A and B are shown apart, each in its own frame.
Chain A
Amino acid sequence: MEKFTKITATATPFPRVNVDTDIIIPAKHLKSIKRSGFGVHAFETVRFNADGSPIPDNVFDGPKYKGSKILIAGDNFGCGSSREHAPWAIADMGFRCIIAPSFADIFAGNCVKNGILTVALPQEAVDALVLAAEAGHQITVDLQDQTVTCQNAHYEFDYNPEHKKKLLEGLDEIGQTLTASAAIASFESKQKLMMPWLYRG
């Protein structure tokens, strides 16, 4: 997994509330058995008409926000399904960080696994960052210090310390967990005595 420490980049404003995972990546595009290539279909209904023609001036395809690494989003971003294709698609578009008033739980968890930092800030701060993004200002997100800086504005954010460590170090989570194999085995032997019906064979 790619590490996340600090980035400075332009940001794409997309502050719609309750953006669900079907908007991020529609189900018909979940048939691939790979992790890559979802970006071209991301936010399809925002970028293309039903007949497939491009929607002009959408924030994701125009030259204005090209190369941006930060997405400024609305409240309850990523609600809906557990599909990890949603953060895969967002990462595939080049985003490394999403700033919003709040995120759906499963989506935020999936972002951690893919090196994407989700920053929750109060609505007023997000509104200010939307204006800054529209004006083309760069935004700096520092995970070590847990700060977002844009021109003279400076915001601090809360972040789960376990997730912070994972993003800063870019660790292989399964490899780490397997070092606790003895604890897992000991849990199983105790549980098997108490609840033998959960074990077969």
Chain B
Amino acid sequence: MPKTMYDKIWDMHVVEDHGNGNALLYIDRHLVHEVTSPQAFEGLRAAGRRIRRPDSIIAVPDHNVPTKDRDKPNPDPMSTEQLAALDANANEFKLDYITMSDIRQGIVHVVGPEQGFTQPGVTLVCGDSHTSTHGAFGALAFGIGTSEVEHVLATQTLHLKKSKNMRVTVTGELPVGCSAKDVALAIIGAIGTAGGTAHVIEYAGPVIEGLSMEGRMTLCNMSIEAGARAGLVAPDEKTFAYLKGRPYAPKAGQWEAAVNFWKALKSDEGAVFDREIVIDGSQIVPLVTWGTSPEDVVPVTATVPAVASFTDRNKQEAAQKALDYMGLKEGQPITDIRVDRVFIGSCTNSRIEDLREAANVIKGRHVAGHVVEAMVVPGSGLVKALAEEEGLDKVFTDAGFQWREPGCSMCLAMNPDKAAPGEHVASTSNRNFVGRQGPGARTHLVSPAMAAAAAIAGHFVDVRNF
């Protein structure tokens, strides 16, 4: 019977089949960061258990790290304690550990691919829901909770129920001025934030094939915002070219065997998907979120929707609450929303291509006078170094942007990077939840080019005519 890529990767990792789709699944790769791991290590110690395969792990701090003044003591004692716990655990259990002062340090979902740790056909987990990012390489990658982190550390397996197969095909050609972020937001807008619940999404079609590895990562990253635990893109020549020569990638003697194995992963002709969605990529336009759920998305050329336009009573209530929180009025043009703060970064959009895209828009212009703060936070030290080599840092700082050290930063505002209550933020991150970027902060999710253009104009603008 023809199999999907998800079926294939699942089947080759089943250690024990428990029936009804339940299985004990083998986990090949594990990324560990400071926020969701301390209780797991503590659990291991309390039970006197060891880590089964330290060679399957990279540990790196990202969520809670400061993005400036790293040479000074961290003023937050709880952050300090959490970062120190990762340090101690990584050393005690002898893990490959990338410290805060290492040039490779950055967001787990930027570091994994960059190091060649993320590979096609592997099962990869991390105590972070945006682990779906790694599906861009054809890896079955998903976020787990801390109990599961402990379970993987101790046993290299997880008890899982197989998800259903869903395919999202994006046809046509993506218009100029649109990027992978707009594709992701268009899909979430179409199927909703619960649209992919209990499914793994495979992305297919000419638009997906045309995306760079960075673009595919942006797209798979936001699978979780569509409710799917994982996203997948079939590995191809772009994938292999990206991986070749990276530190954890297969070495010369094993490279050919690995590529042959990777080529066989794609879904078979005639494989059946439980759900199929087709989106016309040539109709995608630059998108902006207006509410407090990633599905609250409209074209930059549109207006804030009316509450009555939602059919369901619960959705109407949610829309009204969102409008109140966001301080927006029904029918207000999106381009009339004044932007107070701009954040370019996060595991969604902090890679070199994202920074190039933003810099391209900014070059020779300056951030609008009323914008309180515009900030670029590269995804890793290596991204930062490459951007500096290309002179992008200069483009940003000349335009009035701050150029920071790598980390999750204002995506979730665990560290001091946050917005003030009531401020509207043009953000390249993935979640516009209430309070996500600081209490009372109003997040609008956009692509890097759209965030850059909003910073210059001081309000949202259509980057296609900017």
Contact = CB atoms under 8 A, between A and B. Distances in A.
B413 A106 contact: no
A30 B414 contact: yes
B151 interface: yes
B145 A113 contact: yes
Contacts of B63: 27, 30
A137 interface: no
A178 B293 CA distance: 40
A38 to B, nearest CB: 11
Contacts of B36: 82-84
Nearest to B322: A18
A5 B17 CA distance: 26
B71 to A, nearest CB: 22
B366 to A, nearest CB: 32
B159 interface: yes
A17 interface: yes
Nearest to A107: B145
Interface stretch (A91-99, A145-153, A180-188): A180-188
B293 A50 contact: no
A131 to B, nearest CB: 14
A35 to B, nearest CB: 5
Interface in A23-41: 23, 26-28, 30-35
Contact of B55 (A80, A104, A199): A199
A22 B435 contact: yes
Interface stretch (B250-258, B334-342, B375-383, B385-393): B250-258
Nearest to B153: A174
B55 A105 contact: no
A27 B413 contact: yes
A32 B49 CA distance: 22
Interface stretch (B2-10, B121-129, B276-284): B121-129
Contacts of B155: 174, 177-178, 180-181, 184
Contact of A177 (B64, B119, B159, B433): B159
A26 B440 CA distance: 12
A161 interface: yes
A31 B79 contact: yes
Interface of A: 15-18, 20, 22-23, 26-28, 30-35, 44-45, 50, 74-76, 79-84, 87, 102, 104-106, 109-110, 113-114, 160-162, 173-175, 177-178, 180-181, 183-184, 187-188, 191, 194-201
Given A31-B64, A83-B36, A180-B16, 14 more contacts: A16-B314, A23-B434, A27-B412, A31-B81, A31-B414, A33-B39, A33-B42, A79-B193, A80-B431, A173-B147, A173-B159, A178-B154, A187-B26, A200-B55
